[in-house]
Amino acid sequence: MAQVIGFIGLGIMGRPMAKNLLKAGYPLVVHNRSRAPVDELVRAGARASTSPREVAAQCEVLVTMLPNSPDVEQVALGKDGIIEGARRGLIYVDMSTISPIVSQKVGKALAASGVTMLDAPVSGGEKGAIDATLSIMVGGDKAVFDAVLPIFEAMGRTITHLGPLGFGGFTKLANQIIVAGNLTALAEALTLAKKAGLDRDLTLTALAGGLAGSKCLEQKRSNYLANAYTPGFKIDLHYKDLGLIMESARALGVPLPTTAVVQELFNALRVKGRGGLDHSAVITLLEDLAGVSA
């Protein structure tokens, strides 16, 4: 019999990830703050639940995909939280991008109730979540990682155990430095090309074929061509990650000069009311500065 899996947080990423677990044959119990995505998952075959406590009481492995550290702390340790419903032996896998320090704190609190935690943030975007091709970066006990590997394999393609709890998170923060920097470089390059009068489609084709080619360019190409920035990955969430990156960098004594500038560009986008757009919309800010907005 396949393990019963609990899934909390059915947003842009959580919804398709949960659906892939159903497709792989796992019985699924789901919960989300708003009701609509729960109903969608129930139509796909999942069982609905009204609180994290109730989910925890019904499953052997519990996955969360929530926005930020305070959300994970509340769902795991707050009133009606996982800690109140968990049976000893529950494996808790948090796949959100949060502070690695908070992951370690939550893991320690849950361990006292016999719950083992892995942090397993992901990269690959909404498309990777839908196609089950995510890169999953895992921290925590290796034997527990081995036990839940088939569950990860139902959601991702590159699955890496990086070390103890929190190491998944540190890897994801490194990932987010690269993605934010890459999207900002793409934004500057495409704005220069636009002001010079170049055709965007041809420019992107030429860039994609050389050393400047990247997954960011491939995945965001249609956004740049349509000048449409529906998320995807929201600027608000990437700004949150940039904050986590700078916090960790300061704690570890690592200067990140380029990322600090990128963080301010993302801050400016939020000030302009664009926090709900896809992170590739950093190009709209550069176009504003260059006077070539659409």
| Chain residues in the site for ligand NAP (CB under 6 A) | 8-14, 31-34, 37, 65-67, 71, 74-75, 96-97, 122-123, 125-126, 232-233, 237, 241
Give the residue among 66, 27, 64 at the shortest CA–CA distance from 48: 27
Question: 232: cis peptide before it, omega within 30°?
Answer: yes
Q: How far is the CB of 231 from ligand NAP (least distance, A)?
A: 7
Q: Which is nearer to ligand NAP, 96 or 191 (CB)?
A: 96
SS3 for the chain is CCCCEEEECCCCCHHHHHHHHHHCCCCEEEECCCCHHHHHHHHCCCEECCCHHHHHHHCCEEEECCCCHHHHHHHHHCCCCHHHHCCCCCEEEECCCCCHHHHHHHHHHHHCCCCEEEECCEECHHHHHHHCCEEEEEECCHHHHHHHHHHHHCCEEEEEEEECCCHHHHHHHHHHHHHHHHHHHHHHHHHHHHHHCCCHHHHHHHHHCCCCCCHHHHHHHHHHHHCCCCCCCEHHHHHHHHHHHHHHHHHHCCCCHHHHHHHHHHHHHHHCCCCCCEHHHHHHHHHHHHCCCC
Q: Which is nearer to ligand NAP, 9 or 140 (CB)?
A: 9
Q: Which is nearer to ligand NAP, 99 or 191 (CB)?
A: 99
> What residue is closest to ligand NAP based on CB?
11
Q: How far is the CB of 104 from ligand NAP (least distance, A)?
A: 17
Q: How far is the CB of 161 from ligand NAP (least distance, A)?
A: 18
Please tell me which residue in 108, 142, 172, 234 is annotated as part of the active site. 172
Q: Which is nearer to ligand NAP, 18 or 144 (CB)?
A: 18
Q: How far is the CB of 193 from ligand NAP (least distance, A)?
A: 26
Measured over the CA atoms of residue 138, residue 95, residue 4 and residue 90, the dihedral's sign is positive
Token duo for residue 100: 């690695």
Q: How far is the CB of 80 from ligand NAP (least distance, A)?
A: 10
Q: Which is nearer to ligand NAP, 191 or 280 (CB)?
A: 280
Q: Which is nearer to ligand NAP, 236 or 287 (CB)?
A: 236
Q: Is 172 annotated as catalytic?
A: yes
Q: How far is the CB of 143 from ligand NAP (least distance, A)?
A: 26
Q: Which pairing describes strands 134-139 and 122-123: parallel, antiparallel, or unpaired?
A: antiparallel
Residues with catalytic function: 172
